[in-house]
Structure 1
């Protein structure tokens, strides 16, 4: 694979998923289903909150345990500054499966809202993870604490801090890592 192919693959999320979100936001307009804008927005907020759990579970149990995915993720741990990310075909398949499940459970209108929120969470995760690995973040800046907590994940291997956008689920499931010299991470 050439550097150009790697770069295009890495940055494709930042182009594809905003377009997907525009399409999801257009669904209730196009279908004229009865859900109100407030209900759609509520479904989007639920989807966004659900993302934090999906992120935690996928990172902890798929990227660190399932052989094929672990190999991809190990490459990221070995070279965190390289342009390595989840292949877009993989994240897109998960998105399509999630959309079909949400459509079946909630209907097309509210399902599109929930998946809009889930996609927004994934896109935020992608941006944040890029920032944590590729921007110079100085102590005291807004992302410094997140960078430090994510660095603990990279340097202490499979032990914890699986959340990138939020450590909420790490605290719930007891996988929040403390800085050396402490016994547990402080929020």
Structure 2
């Protein structure tokens, strides 16, 4: 059975960043004014750190185990050099969850907006870094290491190396490639 059109619609990078960027705008509009500067910044950093766990879990369990996500992701594994495309339905659900869940858990008069902003910034950063890891040239120390980590996932064992921004969660959950475990 063919997927409905609204599931197949996907935006190529960088247009795929539009919905998370719109979510950032919503978070900014609801930013707590009375919280001072430090608490919102710490909440933003906590959201960014939380994103790395969300990204690991989404990649490991949804992109490799739940349809239609697994079918979409399989296309990326089959042709990793093709431009990355993010289904709009997936992006919209993710952005709404990143805005709504912190609000539901923390409440409207809280640091939910900065925490959500951190999650959304993490999403934008992860998508941008992921695009860069598939580019022909990467420089510095961090990107070549992440590229090698990601290449392990693509070309050696797709049951390992799920993290894109960091290998921290791969280390925590035992999915780090053997050559990286001693680092």
The alignment's TM-score, normalised by the length of structure 1, stands at: 0.82
Confirm or deny that 1:185 pairs with 2:174. no
- Find the residue that maps to 1:86 and give its secondary structure: strand
Aligned equivalents of 1:186, 1:155: Cα separation in 2: 21
Shift of the 123–16 alpha-carbon distance from structure 1 to 2, 3 Å rule, reads: same
Compute the displacement of 1:26 (Å).
Answer: 2.9
In the other structure, the counterpart of 1:107 is 107
Contact 1:137–1:143 (8 Å) recurs in 2: yes
Compute the displacement of 1:83 (Å).
Answer: 1.4
How many residue pairs are counted as aligned between the two chains?
A: 175
Runs of 4+ in 1 over 4 A off after TM superposition: none
- Find the residue that maps to 1:131 and give its secondary structure: helix
In the other structure, the counterpart of 1:125 is 126
- Structure 1 or 2: more helix by fraction: 1
Aligned equivalents of 1:45, 1:95: Cα separation in 2: 18
Contact 1:9–1:88 (8 Å) recurs in 2: no
- Find the residue that maps to 1:143 and give its secondary structure: helix
Equivalence map 1:105-184=2 (5 Å): 105-108=105-108, 109-137=110-138, 142-179=142-179
In the other structure, the counterpart of 2:20 is 17
Higher RCO structure (Cα 8 Å, ≥6 apart): 2
Stretches of structure 1 lacking an aligned partner (at least 5 in a row): none
Deviations 1:7-38 (A, max 9, x none): x5432233443343233123226xx4x43332
Contact 2:19–2:95 (8 Å) recurs in 1: no
Deviations 1:126-184 (A, max 9, x none): 0100000024236x6552111111101101232210000010010001100134xxxx5
Contact 2:13–2:85 (8 Å) recurs in 1: yes
Deviations 1:29-84 (A, max 9, x none): 6xx4x433322212111111100110111100110111321111110000001113
Confirm or deny that 1:68 pairs with 2:84. no
In the other structure, the counterpart of 1:27 is 30
| Aligned residues: CA RMSD | 2.3
Compute the displacement of 1:85 (Å).
Answer: 3.1
Stretches of structure 2 lacking an aligned partner (at least 5 in a row): none
Contact 1:13–1:123 (8 Å) recurs in 2: no
